[in-house]
Amino acid sequence: MTESLADSPTTHSDIPKFDVDLHSPEMLRDPYPTYRQFREAGPVIWLEPHQMFAVPRHAEAVEVLTRWKSFSSGQGVGMNDFVAQAARTTLQTDPPDHDTYRAIEGKPLLPNAVKALEPELRELAVRTVDDLLSRARFDGVSDLAQVLPLGIVANRVGLPPEGRERMLDWAAAGFDSFGMIGNERTQSGLQTMREASEYMQSVPGRLTPGGWADQLMQAGERAGLDLQTRLTLISDYIYPSLDTTIHAISAGLALFAANPDQWDLLRTERALLPRAVSEVVRLASPILWFTRTVTHDYSLGDVALPGRTRVVVLYGSANRDERKFPDPERFDITRPPNDQIGFGRGKHSCMGMSVARLEMEVLFDVMADSVERIETGTWRRSVNNVLYGYEHLDVTFRPSG
Ligand code: HEM
């Protein structure tokens, strides 16, 4: 990695330049030491291999995310133009389309509707944790973290069953496809997404009546959206909901295993569950980055960003910004809950946040009833252009009393 303040390819010769490829396996497995260097270098940096600006600190990340008129999602939030045209979901639109889509899709995800999911999530969590307590060792990802998120997709979204076993692959491919167009994972992600959209073409008339997808199709029709748009929007209930939550849950297992004092604290003070979930999401930051396109020349602090350039928002880096979070590497479930931006911020903040929070709160609550100690063993990181998390994590539950 090189950093230099000279010979910038842009007019911004004083902006720190980094020759760091965000898609390199080293960065995807552990970007945090490099993120620290980004933050130390300045509020805005230039990434040479991507030919894009990036904001590694919390304050500028929040500014970019909350000024949607200046920082557009409509030209896509990835690093290539193709994925924006292929998937015009809520994520990749600006108002007024964005507001229409969000109003149509958002109903089952509103806090009161989500609260009604609690009994079924709790029952599934109790069954799963009981089973895992009887096993000497299990995979924290496939045996535990995947269970609730996949359960929601299977039981609530209401899609025909034959595509379900491919959902995890499609979700990961969807995130890979946001990368640079010349990157191999981006190409293979785009290829796999074609398979996913063929499946989507087969769903009309086969949706479970009353399920989230069925409700969306009907509400979208009433709002005058064409069939293709409605089918594209169904994916908002699937792809952003799986690996994100799965990675956050497995990161939570690893964090509580490494910090037994925090596990003891949560077990005795369950009122800390919402804060504990926020703190897990802060350190997990399952989505490492998305981009925005600058719509007109914009001064970010004292840095002049020219219009039509892309800015990479580094959520994971912002969530460990020492300017915002004292002792940022420390796992502390008593931190104020609303500072972290792992669920985004502003107009595009996570639409499924209440579902993800409920899944995690219920699971940690059920575990806290019967697990005295969480122990972890060997692990492997997954490698994805946008997502950060475990592909595998050995876990043992030590039962209480
Ligand atoms: C821990 C789990 C999750 C994390 C960390 C997460 C993270 C995020 C982030 C960072 C964004 C903002 C994107 C941006 O700034 O452009 C976002 C948006 C979104 N998320 Fe999540 N998410 C999670 C779970 C879910 C779930 C369970 C669902 C669906 C049920 C979901 C659906 C969405 C949708 C549809 C958007 C787009 C919202 C918009 O553009 O207005 N997410 N998520």
36-90: per-residue pLDDT in tens? 999 999 999 999 999 999 999 999 999 999 999 999 999 999 999 888 877 789 9
Alpha-carbon distance of 51 to 45, in angstroms, equals 11
What HEC string does 265-295 produce? HHHHCHHHHHHHHHHHHHHHCCECEEEEEEC
Which atom from ligand 1 is nearest to the alpha carbon of 284? 5
Predicted pLDDT of residue 161: 81
CB of residue 76 inside a 6 A radius of ligand 1: no
Question: Side chain identity at 401, as an amino acid letter?
Answer: G
Q: Give the whole-angstrom CA distance, residue 333 versus residue 364.
A: 13
65 lines ligand 1 (CB under 6 A): yes
Integer Cα distance of 5 and 13 in angstroms: 7
Gap between the Cα atoms of 153 and 243, Å rounded: 12
Ligand 1 mean position, distance from CA 7 (Å) = 38
CATH number at residue 378: 1.10.630.10
In 3D space, the residue among 199, 255, 210, 2 whose CA is nearest the CA of residue 107 turns out to be: 210
CA-CA distances (angstroms) from residue 175 to 289, 312, 324? Answer: 10, 15, 28
Give the pLDDT of residue 7: 36
Number of H helices, E strands in the chain: 17, 12
Q: How far is the CA of 191 from the centre of ligand 1 (A)?
A: 23
- DSSP labels for 47-88? ETTTTEEEE-SHHHHHHHHH-TTTEESTT-SSSSHHHHHH--
Q: Extract the residue ranges of the chain whose pLDDT is less than 50.
A: 1-10
Domain count, the chain: 1
pLDDT value, residue 366: 98
CA of 240 to the centre of ligand 1 (A): 6
Residue nearest to atom 35 of ligand 1 (CA): 236
Q: Domain limits at 331?
A: 3-399
Q: What are phi and psi of 100, to 5 degrees?
A: -60, -50
CB of 172 within 6 A of ligand 1: the answer is: no
Ligand 1 within 6 A of 148 CB? no
- Supply 242's token pair: 């799986």
Closest residue (by CA) to atom 3 of ligand 1? 244
Measured CA distances, 132 to 141, 362, 371, 373, 375 (Å)? 12, 16, 10, 13, 13
Strand order in the sheet with 45-47: 3-4, 17-18, 45-47, 52-55, 310-314, 289-294, 71-72
CB 346 within 8 A of CB 69: no
* Cα–ligand 1 centroid distance for 383 (angstroms): 19
Residue to substitute in 350, 358, 388 for testing ligand 1 pocket (most ligand atoms within 8 angstroms of CB): 350
From 146, 178, 244, the mutation candidate for ligand 1 (largest count of ligand atoms within 8 A of CB) is 244
For ligand 1, atom 29, the nearest C-alpha belongs to: 352
Tens of pLDDT along 183-213?
999 999 999 998 988 999 999 999 999 999 9
Residue linked to tokens 């500014």: 63
Cα 137 to ligand 1 centroid, rounded to whole Å: 31
Task: Find the DSSP H helices in 285-375.
Answer: 315-318, 353-370
Instruction: Answer whether 91 contacts ligand 1 (Cβ < 6 A).
Output: yes
Q: Which residues of 356-382 are buried (b: 16+ CB within 10 A; e: fewer)?
A: bbbbbbbbbbbbbeebeebebeebebb
Residue bearing the CA closest to ligand 1, atom 40: 91
> Closest ligand 1 atom to the C-alpha of 73?
16
Q: List the one residue out of 111, 209, 213 whose CA is nearest residue 153.
A: 213
User: What is the DSSP-derived secondary structure letter of residue 387?
Assistant: B
Index of the ligand 1 atom closest to the CA of residue 236: 35
Tell me how far apart the alpha carbons of residues 157 and 266 are, in angstroms, rounded to a whole number: 32
How far is Cα of residue 44 from the mean position of the Cα atoms in its chain?
Answer: 22
Cβ-contact 121, 362 below 8 angstroms: yes
Nearest residue CA, atom 27 of ligand 1?
241
Distance 343 CA to ligand 1 centre (A): 6
User: How far does the centroid of ligand 1 lie from the alpha carbon of residue 381, in Å?
Assistant: 21
